[in-house]
Homo-oligomer: A and B are copies of this chain.
Amino acid sequence: MRMSEGVEWAIHSCINLSWLEPGEAVTAARMAAFYELPPAYLNKQLQALARAGILTSTPGPRGGFRLARSPGDISLLDVVTAIEGREEAFRCEEIVARGPGEHEGIDYRRSCFVSQAMRRAEMAWRRELAGQTLADLRSTVERRLPSAPGDARTRFANLRT
């Protein structure tokens, strides 16, 4: 079980976007140069965030991506779901339905106890992610490293490409 590395890219990108002036946008190419990532692939991840309503994208010159809403209204779960999709990690194949007993019209994805236990665990995971917003993360970073927002801004200014 492995989470896409795009999740890490997306979270860091969103935090960086939250340090921009309102209305300011950053292209996928510049964000990729910031972290030395493959530009086209990062672009794909940012597109996923845009489809999920976390970012807004504008084409053409002076275009790029920006946050679609306040960082306090974006949870980590939102970002993870945007990249990884809505499906759960554990997917009940209902193999128990091929065992003994009566199985008429039973949905084991809901009723199987194994499935339920796994779902409980994933719920705990989701709850933990939903309880943290990008604003929380951002303020934690700023408390530890107050120069971070300025550092990011100057780095964007000095990037070539």
Q: Which residues of A contact B (CB under 8 A)?
A: 1-5, 7-9, 11-12, 34-37, 76, 84, 87, 89-93, 95-96, 98-101, 113-114, 117-118, 120-122, 124-129, 132, 137, 140-141, 144-145, 147-148, 151-152, 154-155
Contact = CB atoms under 8 A, between A and B. Distances in A.
Contacts of A87: 2
B125 A95 contact: no
Contacts of A8: 90, 92-93, 95, 114
Contacts of A140: 113
Minimum-distance CB pairs A-B, first 4: A100-B151, A121-B128, A125-B125, A124-B124
A1 B99 contact: no
